[in-house]
Every structure is written in structure tokens, then in C-alpha cells.
Amino acid sequence: MHQVHQTNGLPLLGKRRIRLVWRDSKGDPATGEKAAKQQLIRQVGVAALIGSYQTSVTAAASQIAEAHQIPFLNPESSAPSLTERNFRWFFRTGPDDRIFTRLFFELFQFLRNRGHTISRFAIVSEDSQFGKEASQVEMESIRRFGGELVSFEMYGPSVTRFVPILKRVRHARPHVVFGHQFLADAIRMIHALKTMGWYPDALTVQNAGYVVPEFIEHVAQNGNYVISRASWALGLENQNPRVKAINQQYLDLFGEDMNETNARSFTGMIVLADAIHRADSTTPQSIRRALRQTRLPGAQLIMPWKGVRFNESGQNEWANGLLVQLLNQQYRIIWPPALAETQVIWPAPSWNARGK
């Protein structure tokens, strides 16, 4: 009834049977909530929802979906609380912040065992739900690691100058600075660090604005040596031929390579398409039941995961992540070792040592 075509071993939505409708939340929770409730559920009568990028938008829109008993599949948001609400209709395909942050501290322990001093940490975070939850996970991890949080800076939307913030951070002498910024703030962070002529041993970031193409376009070589967590990187094509094939299709369509964010979105749509296909129905109840029964092996995906299987809270318990470092303006996998393309550069060189 609802055909799902196969491309390079990956299920894709058929064009005749499924109607895709989208609305732009503009990154605003109230707008996302209104779009979900009034426009997509009431006016269009959707059978399922997929989104959203910002955690705060996902939280608001999925609350509406839960109230109306509509499946909500989230590929991008990583706040742990999203799958801790006892929702029955919410599903997340990607890892959460606990999984991602664990990877950072695995790398820190690896480097510590090889003689690097890593004990003093700072956090610079925007104050949305994403930033607050990521900060909390990092604080817990720093304590378990036996480290010290020497500086914590949380700022609101009105803040546009990062030099004063980073001067306070520099004064605390951290080895590692965690950053949680969307695109505009990520660009400001790098420009402020360059203006100050200071860079910590590592700027480790929770994805967001640091892994979109526009970031590199604005900061160019100044973004080198940033370490970010990721769900995906193009370097996976060295081990998974599907990555190269799907990326080529994306390149043909849009004139650029896939990036970490749209790889997550693509995978989420694949999972929802697979559920609709197996449900052989577009009733919300049937789709939810199929999502609960999902058992997609990693061999059928482009992600570095064991696959997709949702636990009782709606979290994909087979998801995992990567760490990438921006080197020569390209994201290179540095962790875990089994997937690494290159070794981490640690500590990051000073601005003077980088040259022009």
C-alpha cells in the first residue's frame, strides 16, 4: 500500500503514497508548538511528525504530539530529558548528550594516560534547554573524571560580545573549554579567541553551530583544531560504502557534501519511512506500533551505529557517536580509535604557531 523504494540498501519514501508537509519553527518553541498543533495536526491531519533541530522546539512540539497521540520522531536534538518524560509517542534515533560526553572523557583519559595534563575545565554555554542540559552532563562527567570546573559562563540571547566572557575564562586557566553555541555564537566565539590571541589546550564543543558548512565559511582556518562530537562524518565512507553512495546523490542534488546535521535528519526519515512501510498504514497508532518494533541493523544505515532499536523511553539504544577535529577546514574523525581517520592534535597550537 505504501511503497518504500530501496536505494543502495537504504529504504526511501515512495513519491506516490506519502505526502510530506513542512513548517519552519524559526528556532522558536512557541512557533514550533503552533506549527505542530494548528497547522500540521489540525489543518493537515498528519499521521506522524519529524523534527526538530533545537531541543527547546522539539520539547514543545513533541508535547503537542503526545497530547494528540501522534508519533513524533526526533533525529537531531540530544538533550537527555527528551526521553525522560514518560512519553509513549516520542522516538529519538540519535545519541543523547550523555553518550556524546562520554566520548569526550574517553579521549581525555586516553590522553591523560599518555602524559597530558587534563584537570581544569571551563564551560561557556548559551542558556537554552540544550545548553543547560549539556552543561549539567559535563559537570557530572568532570566530577567523575576527578577534574575541576574552574569557570562556568552561561549567557542569554542578548549577549553578542564574547571577549569579556572569554577573558574571565582565560583568567581561570582551564585546559579544556566546553562550548555550546549555535551558528552565530560559534562564529563569535572563534573571532573572540583570535582577537584575544588565546586558545586553550582544547575547545571541545557539543556540535550545534560548529558543524554546519556556514561555520567554516565564516571562520575559515581560524576554526581549525576545534573538537566536536558528531553522529556522522564523511570519513565514514572509508568503512561504509553506503556513505559514499548516498553522499554522491546528495552532492548531485544540492551541490555540496552531506554534513553531520543533515545526515542525522536523513537517517531519521529513513527510520520513519521504514515504520510506515511495515505498518502498511498511515494511522498514527499503526505507525507508533511499527516504530516500537523497529530493528534496523547498522549495515543498512550510513551512521556508525549498531542500528536502530527503541527502548521503552523512545531512545535508540543502538545509537553511538564520534569525535571529529577540524583540520585544514575539514572534519576528521579522531575517536573512537576503530573509526579514526587521524590522530588528535593536542594541545591545539597557539595562534602565533598557526601562522597566517
pLDDT by residue (tens digit) across 24-39? Answer: 887 787 888 887 877 7
Residues in a beta bridge with 308 = 296
* Alpha-carbon gap, residue 57 to 53, rounded angstroms: 7
CA–CA dist 303, 310 (Å, integer): 16
Alpha-carbon span 125 to 94, nearest angstrom: 22
pTM for the complete prediction?
Answer: 0.87
Radius of gyration of the chain (CA): 20
Range with the lowest mean pLDDT among 2-6, 7-11, 177-181, 189-193? 2-6
- Indicate the residue type of 231: S
The four Cα atoms 275, 277, 278, 284 give a dihedral, to 10 degrees, of 60
What's the confidence (pLDDT) of residue 35?
A: 77
Q: What is the pLDDT of residue 237?
A: 92
Quick one: which H or E segment has residue 64?
helix 55-67
Beta bridge partners of 74: 92
3-state secondary structure (DSSP) of residue 15? coil
- The percentage of the chain sitting over the pLDDT mark of 90, rounded to a whole number, equals 76
Q: Confidence band (pLDDT; 50, 70, 90) for 355?
A: low
Section 106-110 average pLDDT: 98
List the single range of 3-7, 69-73, 240-244 with lowest mean pLDDT. Answer: 3-7
Task: Give mean pLDDT, residues 65-72.
Answer: 94
Question: Quick count: other Cβ atoms within 10 Å of Cβ 316?
Answer: 27
Per the CB < 8 A criterion, the answer to whether 291 and 73 are in contact is yes
310: β partners: 316
Q: What confidence tier does 17 reach under pLDDT thresholds 50, 70, 90?
A: low
90-92 β-sheet, strand order = 49-50, 72-74, 90-92
* More reliable by pLDDT, 282 or 285: 285
Q: What is the per-residue pLDDT across 181-209, written as a single tens digit (0 to 9) for each?
A: 999 999 999 999 999 999 999 999 998 88
- Give the pLDDT of residue 5: 39
